[in-house]
Amino acid sequence: MFPKLDEPTAARAQRALARADERLAGVIRRVGVCPLRGKGRPYAYLLRSILYQQLAGAAAAAIEGRFLALFGGRTPRPEELLAMRRDRLRGAGLSRSKVEAVRAVAEAVRSGQVREKQLWYLDDASVVETLVQIRGVGEWTAHMLLMSSLGRPDVLPVGDYGVRKGAQLLYDLPELPRARELEALTANWRPWRSVGSWYLWRHPEILQSREAVSS
């Protein structure tokens, strides 16, 4: 089984990142403790990530509530989800593409194409390779699952807008960094790039709050 972020590991990561990157050290001091932990079943996480794709938080939460209500307020087992009529899923607010995507996740788990327990023992690249074969699951979703469900400590979601924007602001770049540039900028963060990425997400928020106070 691979390392998993817990409280002592996250604290160790913060100290290491602060030593490795002076600019990031300032963000860490202002933001404080990183709460990123591995939690939740990968199957449930995949369903939720699909429900939230391309939606604002409140709208996605409402759809999630209606979706779970179809199954008594809990995450459905794969066979339960596959047995649910498509029109009822549509009635809960899922688009046609999301209906097919959640069904694809359920089928992948039910058929054994994706074995939840096995994911804990695969390296990061193998997890991504396994998950992106499912309809509706891309690299970004796989990266988020690695960080938030499996708690892997060294994931850099190069396609995430928030991470790219945080890096642009942190390093005073003229534009959003592309994947290779982001990899190079954060090379000395290894093996703690998940935690570093979380601080990049928070960096724009901190800047905005400081500007609001000074205005």
pLDDT tens column, 153-203 = 999 999 999 999 999 999 999 999 999 999 999 999 999 999 999 999 999
Instruction: State which amino acid sits at residue 18.
Output: A
Residue-wise pLDDT for 84-118, tens only, equals 999 999 999 999 999 999 999 999 999 999 999 99
pLDDT at residue 61, rounded to an integer: 94
Per-residue pLDDT of 119-132, as tens digits, reads 999 999 999 999 99
Tokens standing for residue 157 = 């979601």
pLDDT classification of 204: cutoffs 50, 70, 90: confident
Domains, the chain, in order of start with CATH, read: 7-38+155-214 (1.10.1670.40), 42-148 (1.10.340.30)
214 has a pLDDT exceeding 60: no
Please give the C-alpha separations between residue 141 and each of 3, 71, 90, in angstroms, as whole numbers.
20, 24, 22
Residue 154 annotated as catalytic: no
pLDDT of res. 170: 96
Residue type present at position 123: D
Checking if the pLDDT of 69 tops 90, the result is yes
For residue 3, the model assigns a pLDDT of 80
Burial class (CB in 10 A: 0-12, 13-18, 19+), 112: exposed
Pick the catalytic residue from 21, 124, 160, 172: 160
pLDDT at position 206: 66
**Structure-model confidence comparison of residues 136 and 83, the more confident one:** 83
pLDDT at 138 over 80: yes
* pLDDT value of residue 207: 64
Single pTM value for the model: 0.88
Average pLDDT, the chain: 92
How far is Cα 64 from Cα 191, in angstroms, rounded to an integer?
A: 34
Q: Does residue 213 have a pLDDT over 80?
A: no
Distance CA 136, CA 100 (A): 8
Q: Minimal CA–CA distance to 54: which of 105, 109, 103, 93?
A: 93
Residue 210 has pLDDT above 60, yes or no: no
pLDDT at residue 209, rounded to an integer: 56
